[in-house]
Amino acid sequence: MEFNLADLFESVADAVPEREALVCANRRLTYSQLDERSNRLAHHLEREGIGPGEHVGLYLHNCTEYIEASLAAYKLRAVPININYRYVEAELAYLFDNADLVAVVHHREFAPRITAIAPETPKLRTRVAVEDGSGADSRTVEYEEAIAASSPDRDFGERSGDDLYILYTGGTTGMPKGVMWRQEDIFFAAMMGGNPYGPPPERPEDVAESATARGIATMLPAAPLIHGAAQWATFIALYGGGKVVIAPGKRFDPALVWRLANEENVNSITIVGDAMARPLAEALTGAPLELSSLRVIGSGGAIFSEHVKDQLKEHLPGVVVMDSFGASEGGYQGAHVGRGADGTAPRFRADATTAVFDDKLRRLEPGGGQVGMLARKGRIPIGYYKDEEKTARTFVEIEGERWVLPGDMALVEADGTITLLGRGSACINSGGEKIFPEEVEAALRSHPAVFDAVVVGVPDEKWGERVTAVVQPRPGVNLTLEQLDNHCRGQVSGYKLPRGLTLVDELIRQPSGKPDYRWAKAVAMGGGA
């Protein structure tokens, strides 16, 4: 056995077959049941001609079938591909073609979209529909019928730690791109070897042994499973022999998250920054919940502001609120330790695999005050699927080793910790000054009348770009730019303050909770207050 995602899951399923593995809506699956349903789906896909290296799209909102289909693909040495269920037809057609999808497992409601783009996706030959009450479609096979008619046996061929894991990420600009990992590398770099609070396994056999010996921990990933953070959290729990509680549906519902946490005795919840943390904190006000089992709330993938952390801590004084950073191209990279020297941007502790380099790929020394590019070496991706040019720009040789530059800008503090400033692709250049939206957004969201905010740069004849805030105020509040200026002036430098304001009824974010900067920029350029 190698560090292969299917092999490792099967070893845990054999070790703790009767433990609950997945809970979603009315379905509860033990490890044995999850393994069997995945075997059956794998055999159905195999009968349809799906084999090693081929790509299977997962066009699903949160459900147990998402994990079943992921495992089924791994068992065949095929590659599951995450599909954003908010994509319109043009984006879907691009992704289906770019990812070379030969099969797709989808909720029935998405069948019309798949049919509409079928002429542009000639490689797609197999469709399996998960019922959702939206009606029949003769061009698909019904999921439950497919697995009922397939073998439950685990009689697949030998697998490898070199088998692929691909995560499509939209980022802040451009079309989605597929980040290719070796399964062994993603297991250690992002799934933390199945043991986030202890040493990584030295042998594949150690994973099941550790899961057997460990107490059962219950995890609730609040982000959608199309997002890497939720996938990684789910598999961390499964490789640890724990229980995963999935909030069903395609919209983030903070009240549902807390209800499930209470009913299922959840020990840890994973979220993606302020966009999830603030609604969760506010949903706790007056809620008759015990939450006595909850120990940890962990965030990653987006800015997690101090004032929002304080809101959660006020309601949950005994719960550890953790902040970490990472990327689709880097996995888990470090844990939060405070604020940077300017008091705004978050500061993290990272290990020797992480460094910051300038634009000439020279290592920045601690305390120099220079902004550079965050980089990681060691267990990193192979590159981007079908994009050699982007791979060559992002994965580079420095100091005789291969490093990845995910696009995050940072500086190294005097004590060696790293202050994370934000994505270079979202950076605003106003009058020659570089402004990272994340720190301005954090200052705006600390205003008591602001529910959510995103900051973008819009064209300006004098400054090149003008900092503009797109703000969702709290109900019944009329915010002005002057009020926000006065509030934020003590938190960020004057040149970073918004010079324009657009108020919206609802701020649109990606399903993961990350800002949709393209949407925000279009709104900001269409009119403002």
Positive/negative CA dihedral, 187, 190, 195, 200: positive
Domain boundary (275, 299, 326) is at 326
pLDDT score, position 289: 84
**pLDDT tens string 374-391:** 999 999 999 999 999 999
Q: φ, ψ for residue 214 (rounded to 5)?
A: -80, 150
Q: Which residues pair with 101 in a beta bridge?
A: 55
My answer on whether 492 and 457 are in the same domain is: yes
- For residues 84 and 170, the answer to whether their CB atoms sit within 8 Å is yes
Is residue 510 situated within a structural domain? yes
Beta bridge partners of 422: 409
- Contact 443/497 with Cβ under 8 angstroms? no
pLDDT of residue 341: 60
Name the domain count of the chain. Answer: 4
CATH number of the domain to which 336 belongs: 2.30.38.10
**Least confident window among 100-114, 161-175, 436-450:** 161-175
pTM of the model: 0.86
Structure tokens at 420: 């994370």
Rounded distance between C-alpha atoms, residue 363 and residue 386, angstroms? 30
Average of per-residue pLDDT across 456-461: 87
- Among 231, 218, 288, 224, smallest CA distance to 255 is for 288
Cα(369)–Cα(358) distance, integer angstroms: 12
**293 and 230 share a domain?**
no
- For residue 147, is pLDDT > 50? yes
- What would the two tokens of residue 296 be? 């940890």
Predicted confidence at residue 66, as pLDDT, reads: 98
Q: Please, which residues have CB within 8 angstroms of residue 4's CB and are 6 or more apart in sequence?
A: 74, 159, 160, 161, 163, 183, 184, 204
The answer on 465 and 395 residing in a single domain is: no
Domain co-membership, 288 together with 163: no
State CA 522 to chain mean position distance.
24
Can you give the pLDDT at residue 528?
Answer: 46
In terms of Cα–Cα distance, which of 160, 189, 166 is closest to 4?
A: 160
Residue 280 domain-assigned (yes or no): yes
Is 161 in the same domain as 31? yes
**What is the residue-averaged pLDDT of the chain?**
91
**Do residue 108 and residue 150 come from a single domain?**
yes
Which pLDDT does position 161 carry in this prediction? 98
Q: Which residue has the tokens 């070897």?
A: 193
Q: Are residues 198 and 84 in the same domain?
A: yes
Mind listing the pLDDT tens digit for each residue in 175-210?
789 999 999 999 999 999 998 878 899 999 999 999
**Cα separation of 214 and 209, whole Å?**
9
| Distance separating alpha carbons of residues 295 and 411, to the nearest angstrom | 32
Question: Can you give the pLDDT at residue 373?
Answer: 93
Among positive and negative, which fits the CA dihedral 473, 477, 478, 484?
A: negative
The stretch 462-471 carries a mean pLDDT of 88
> Residue 215 has what pLDDT?
86
Residue 5: inside a domain, yes or no? no
Parent domain of 111: 11-237
Following CA atoms 314, 319, 325, 328 in sequence, which dihedral angle do they give, to the nearest 10 degrees? -120
One domain, residues 200 and 281: no
Runs of H (alpha helix) within 181-305: 183-189, 205-213, 228-239, 254-263, 274-283
> Is there a single domain that holds both residue 122 and residue 230?
yes
Domain assignment present for 24:
yes
- HEC profile for 367-423? CCCCCEEEEEECCCCCEECCCHHHHHHHEEEECCEEEECCCEEEEECCCCCEEEEEE
- Rounded Cα distance between 524 and 463, Å, is 16
Taking the C-alpha atoms of residue 194 and residue 275, their distance in angstroms, rounded to an integer, is 27
What does 76-138 look like in DSSP terms, one character per residue? TT-EEEE--TT--HHHHHHHHHHTTEEEEEEEGGGHHHHHHHGGG-TT--EEEEEP-SS---T
pLDDT band at 325 (very low <50, low <70, confident <90, very high): confident
pLDDT in tens, 416-434: 999 888 777 778 878 767 7
Instruction: Read off the pLDDT of residues 24-52 as tens digits, 9 standing for 90 and up.
Output: 999 999 999 999 999 999 999 999 999 99
End-of-domain residue from the set 391, 424, 457 = 424
> Is there a single domain that holds both residue 122 and residue 97?
yes
- Residue 437 in this model has a pLDDT that exceeds 50: yes
Lowest mean per-residue pLDDT among 85-94, 106-115, 233-242, 418-427: 418-427
pLDDT at 139: 65
Interval 486-524: pLDDT, tens: 999 878 888 889 999 999 999 988 776 778 888 888 898
Judged by DSSP in three states, 498 sits in coil
Same domain, 268 and 232: no
**3-state SS class at 503:** strand
Residues above pLDDT 70, as percent of the chain = 96
Tell whether 181 is covered by a domain: yes
Q: Is 473 domain-assigned? A: yes
Cα 400 versus chain centre, distance: 31
Residues 509 and 461 placed together within one structural domain of the fold: yes
Q: Tens digit of pLDDT for each residue in 211-262? A: 999 889 999 999 999 999 999 999 999 999 999 999 998 889 999 999 999 9
- How far apart CA 433 and CA 436 sit, in angstroms, is 10
